[in-house]
A and B are shown apart, each in its own frame.
Chain A
Amino acid sequence: MSDPATVTADRPADITAPTPAVGDGGPDMVQLLTPEGERVTNAAAADYAQYVEDLTDDELRGLYRDLILIRRVDTEATALQRQGELGIWASLLGQEAAQVGSGRALKKQDYAFPTYREHGVAWCRGVDPLNLLGLFRGVNHGGWDPNEKNFHLYTIVIGAQTLHATGYAMGVQRDGAVGTGDADRDAAVIAYFGDGATSQGDVSESFVFAAVNNAPIVFFCQNNQWAISEPNDRQTRIPLYQRARGFGFPGVRVDGNDVLAVYAVTKHALEEARSGQGPFLVEAWTYRMGAHTTSDDPTKYRVSAEVEVWKLRDPIERLKAYLAHEGKADRDFLDEVDREADELAAHVREGCLTMQDPTAESMFDHIYVEEHPLVEEERREFAAYQASFAGEEVPA
């Protein structure tokens, strides 16, 4: 293999320079709160600050509450997996602000297409966290009605949902629910995916389909730096948000650990989509603090010093510092949220432990809408087979 440095020696560095492996997001990154919780006042921040100016104190405290509660759910689910109650769990630790900030920017009529890690978005859409556990416990593949909360099922095939989201957005267009100026009617779609997914053809195809149709969709990439064991430089040579330009729509990198900045940028992107200006790519610069899933061991491929750097950028601490500094949250409020978190965790734990396994016969349900002779034949055979054991003692 030839040395890439030699091959690209004559090319301009602005084309070939690799994206920084794990940096601070770079100068283009939109940030409204520093990791210390201070408001940022640079030019990029000025463009987006308007979107958070009308957040009430209650709404600001609400964001904090969301962050705390969903982290608590995540901690509880991880514990349940360790205790053998879940087969696996995909932790969102570190990505709470990216999910809550974007999730709270959505309107009721918007529609979200998640990966399998969007527990924070699910929370914002009103999905009971307990419902998320069914998939990971192995009792179902998704236990909620997607159309009730406008929150699609978790999609495990990497990137596939970006195309479903794009098609859905094309449907929104055909329903005349874009650019009418009616704030309760105009709708957008948001498609979640990760840095690893950007290498999938489906994601590029969704960018193409969205662009040529000018579909009302926000592509929301949580760049958590790691696709299981592979860092960004195994997926891309340019910053991901810059890819949008090649497809013909805007892309913005936002500090994914800054819930205000994520909220502001996503709100802007969604408003553009709803008003008929077409797709938008948001790259939320964040970090997967935990393992890919509970089956993964990140000590095999990344150094703890990197994790320590990101701990200092924690999404919850900075909002807490901001609220405290601004006098918007007192000790009573913080304690109340913690108490609520414990209650929610107890609900998740209790619900998980008492979750009923489905009946064996139910695996024949819902395969087809209309009766299918093969399914019905096997259902009958299975029932007869099961019945043949009636009265027999079941070995311990």
Chain B
Amino acid sequence: MTSLTIAKALTAGLRKAMENDPKVLLMGEDIGKLGGVFRVTEGLQKDFGEERVIDTPLAEAGIVGTAIGLALRGYRPVVEIQFDGFVYPAFDHIVSQVAKMRARSLGYVTLPMVIRIPFGGGIGAVEHHSESNEAYFAHTAGLRVVTVSNPQDAYWGIQQAIETDDPVIFYEPKRRYWDKGEVDESGSTRGLFEAAVLQEGTDCTLVAYGPMVKTCLQAAQAADDEGKSLEVVDLRSISPLDLDTLVASVEKTGRMVVVHEASTNVGLGAEIAAAVTQRAFYSLEAPVMRVGGYNLPYPPSRLEEEFLPDLDRVLDTVDRALAF
């Protein structure tokens, strides 16, 4: 066991993947000498060379578009998008090409590529640096969308994503990059597309992913002090959803609150509420509730504490769910 931050666990995972498979390439802006603005690729260009850790021109459509070509040639590109809000120039390639290539080729072509996106707010950044745009990609058939909340999942998750033959959008919780935790580099871990029950409880299920997992664990701790028993599920995979785990949880607790930084309107919470309600209607004591960012453009950073869900808003919503 090693104690690593999420960022360094990702670095270690990327390193391992590059050692295991010479076809794995990293591409992105400033990922070489600088090691990326979050230093996730630090040291990798030095060890694997400029041919495998590619400092690209500053053009996101170009990065993803050329990554498609490299994947067509048999490589496994891992693309870094510097910040969530800068993925949009590449949106066309992700949605129209990456997601559809296998289906439109009748299965002749696969695109095993990973698009890493640091996402979410809470770091006091200027605009376009704090977004949670996972729903756009979860909405798109042909993509897989995952996120991690802890160093252990970061280390294994990035390797599993790279080994996946389907394209994977890999969301990294940027405000948690520096959170430390134990990483077991020897063993294996759970499947990339499985949810994990991080804390068992009986009164209400909290469902979260990425940066909100920590918030929910803290909320559960606070609730416990008040005598309420909350179950915390780390969704981990956003597409596909591990509905079996969610349904099993709600069948036990009877209540569910979904928490994410993204705006709630047409978000993951809406999809989860619909899917869980359909499958576990008679187990529910209350409607599935949502806590998320307000349905606004991400505000200036002085207001982000109010915009983003926090422990109190989560507990407030739990109280409303319990009041039904």
Contact = CB atoms under 8 A, between A and B. Distances in A.
A and B are interacting partners: yes
Interface of A: 140-147, 152-153, 155, 157, 160, 162-172, 174-175, 201-202, 205-206, 208-209, 212, 365-370, 372-375
Contact of B165 (A155, A168, A370): A370
Interface string B139-162: 001101000000000000000000
Contacts of A146: 72, 105, 108-109
B56 to A, nearest CB: 7
Interface in B32-70: 51, 56-57, 59, 61-62, 65-70
A171 B73 CA distance: 6
Contacts of A155: 97
A366 to B, nearest CB: 4
B164 interface: yes
Interface of B: 25, 51, 56-57, 59, 61-62, 65-75, 77, 89, 92-93, 96-97, 100-110, 141-142, 144, 164-166, 239-241, 243
B57 A370 contact: no
A175 B73 contact: yes
Contacts of A142: 104-106
Interface centre among B59, B74, B142 (most CB of A within 10 A): B59
Nearest to A153: B105
In this complex, the member of B62, B92, B107, B164 whose beta carbon has the largest number of chain A beta carbons within 10 angstroms is: B62
A147 B70 CA distance: 14
Nearest to A141: B104
Contact of A367 (B25, B61, B72, B141): B141
Contact of B57 (A167, A205, A372): A205
A143 B104 CA distance: 9
A358 to B, nearest CB: 9
A369 B69 contact: no
A366 B72 CA distance: 16
B73 A172 contact: yes
Nearest to B68: A164
B65 A366 contact: no
Contacts of A367: 102-103, 141-142
Given A146-B108, A172-B73, A369 B165 contact: yes
Contact of A209 (B56, B93, B97, B106): B56
B313 to A, nearest CB: 30
A172 B70 CA distance: 9
Given A164-B97, A167-B66, A152 B72 contact: yes
A381 B100 CA distance: 22
Contact of B62 (A171, A208, A368): A208
Contacts of B75: 171, 174
A169 B102 CA distance: 20
B57 A160 contact: no
A141 B65 contact: no
A166 B66 contact: yes
